A and B are shown apart, each in its own frame.
Chain A
């Protein structure tokens, strides 16, 4: 099922023509309307007439989160404020918040792109969609809301939090599609167990998850516990919000809305493109944004392009679910460790619950990682031997996967802190 088949299944050659046209007019607009870019282009003696292919984009400078902060609040807007109909602010997962704006056309584009993502996930106008992303300055709630309304689904704008009420409404309103962070989906699943509600008795069929990195293991876990098709979608407020990319029902990577965004995957050290299919930092250039265009925005998100065609028929290139952030990257005894690598291992071990916390400390000038993992009650109260076995299994797998030795501590179910939004997985106690 497609929302805009003529775009989603476009021939590559036509897509590239469209991208080039849009890139050229975007560069013209930022170069004339945004003092920040105008100055940057002048410093580089860059003339936007010189952009003659998509590869020429690489000659342009990056835009960093810091640039957004330095131009707080409206410095990077490309239109006067009277043309802006909406202002959002980044959720500030790390650091000071930043401000982004939308024109009427931007809101229209946004709705349309989210409608693509929602349709690709399998949701139709016959669905009842419960949006448990925060509304307000965070782009998640409104973004999904617009897309869902556009396709004609029945939208429940419940917003984030109040788990019991979420479940109550899910039950009473016969919700068929759930929108939230993947970790919150598991929180909901656990709460249902506690309340004695069988998820299979609900009408829930689809889960559209985003806002934080997750793993294939977590997808399985969600599928098992809630019995739904769980798809991932990607976006960030700096370039628009949700709607940048989303998985189709094949669940094998996120189709990028390439007619509206140009994505590069670069080596975070050299800033050269990584070989096709390898992991690097995602850098995004917007092609159609009016109020807040972004040129080569460094997302700090780590992912890779997935080579090959998708059986769904979309020709839009796919990216892997975000595997972590360059700034989440922990350097342990000189080895780069990503929390996602640890999560992946944990999900492969039987009896381990999908809740964990990574604690990093420095003892006698040596880094030490401890992973706290929740395990099923049966294992916890079982004989010591069984516990030992689980710990050893996790340890040896982590050592081979991550490359550093990791301490593992089992904890009882529901002892780790639960989050209603983005889960905090890493506690770094080192004073670096």
Chain B
């Protein structure tokens, strides 16, 4: 579904991503893990079109994304749930969701948008309860659900999530990850970016480990969880060993 080959990208003269190749097949949950500053967000921003690649190819659904605007990429079915939620605080929950439906409104009309809104309320019952409330007054977990719901309003083929667990309590993280699994069960494809490597690999089919702009290991999640480099760097095995 998404194919990236030899991607270099960055800001100004700074090359953040160096020769990245990765792919996401339809129906997969793929996790991209790595520390702060590894280039994870840069990668998502390049895929969605916010940053132009310096080199390399990105193709989505078999079509090259070169010279495609963010709007066109979203319209073709690829959405980003940004890090830190970034919901529109002074607007109500429902207004936020409807904003996410603008692509659908253009292509399929109002009825489809309302139907999709209903679908989001089923997926996130808490949002229905809070529909009239201002987004800024929601808890962190609720805001994350709102950001996801807003992205899903365009009925995307590929959902890219940037650190959905940041700043959330462990129980809420578990809920969010359960929802990601449900999204996949409903036929969505997910590219999940996470610092919480254990949780992310726990639900993903495959994973890539990014370190200073390079993919250093990739493979099925189970293999990565068993890989000692990954364990040492991201799963804190060393600490457990020391305690034991």
Chain A residues in the interface with B (C-beta under 8 A): 14, 17-18, 20-22, 24-25, 28-29, 48-53, 79-80, 82-83, 103-105, 108-109, 288, 290
Nearest-Cβ distance from residue A20 to partner chain B, whole angstroms: 5
Sample (5) of A-B pairs whose CB atoms are under 8 Å apart:
A14-B23, A25-B216, A48-B19, A49-B214, A108-B226
Nearest-Cβ distance from residue A388 to partner chain B, whole angstroms: 63
Please provide the 9 A-B residue pairs with the shortest distance between their CB atoms, ordered closest to farther.
A83-B228, A49-B19, A52-B6, A21-B21, A105-B223, A49-B18, A17-B23, A20-B21, A25-B215
- Once A and B bind, how many residue pairs between them come within 8 Å at the CB atom? 55
In the docked arrangement, what's the CA distance between A17 and B227, Å? 22
Cβ B19 vs Cβ A288 within 8 A? no
CB-contacts of B58-85 with A (<8 A): none
Tell me if A's interface is mostly helix, strand, loop or mixed: helix
Nearest-Cβ distance from residue A29 to partner chain B, whole angstroms: 7
| B5 sits at the interface (CB 8 A) | yes
Nearest-Cβ distance from residue B231 to partner chain A, whole angstroms: 9
In the docked arrangement, what's the CA distance between A49 and B229, Å? 20
Cβ B227 vs Cβ A290 within 8 A? yes
Q: Known: A105-B223, A108-B223. Is A21-B19 also a contact (CB below 8 A)?
A: no
Cβ B217 vs Cβ A25 within 8 A? yes
CB nearest to B55 among chain A residues: A52
A105 interface neighbour in B5, B214, B218, B227, Cβ under 8 Å: B227
Chain B residues in the interface with A (C-beta under 8 A): 3, 5-6, 18-19, 21-23, 25, 214-219, 223, 226-229
Cβ A18 vs Cβ B23 within 8 A? yes
Cβ A79 vs Cβ B228 within 8 A? yes
B3, B6, B21, B215 interface centre (most CB from chain A within 10 Å): B21
CB nearest to B21 among chain A residues: A21
Cβ A103 vs Cβ B228 within 8 A? yes
Additional pairs, 11, CB under 8 Å, beyond known A49-B214, A108-B226: A14-B23, A17-B3, A17-B21, A18-B23, A21-B23, A28-B214, A29-B216, A52-B5, A52-B6, A80-B228, A83-B228
Nearest-Cβ distance from residue B75 to partner chain A, whole angstroms: 25
Cβ B227 vs Cβ A21 within 8 A? no
Nearest-Cβ distance from residue A319 to partner chain B, whole angstroms: 25
Which residues of chain B are within 8 angstroms of A105 by Cβ–Cβ distance? 219, 223, 226-227
Cβ B228 vs Cβ A21 within 8 A? no
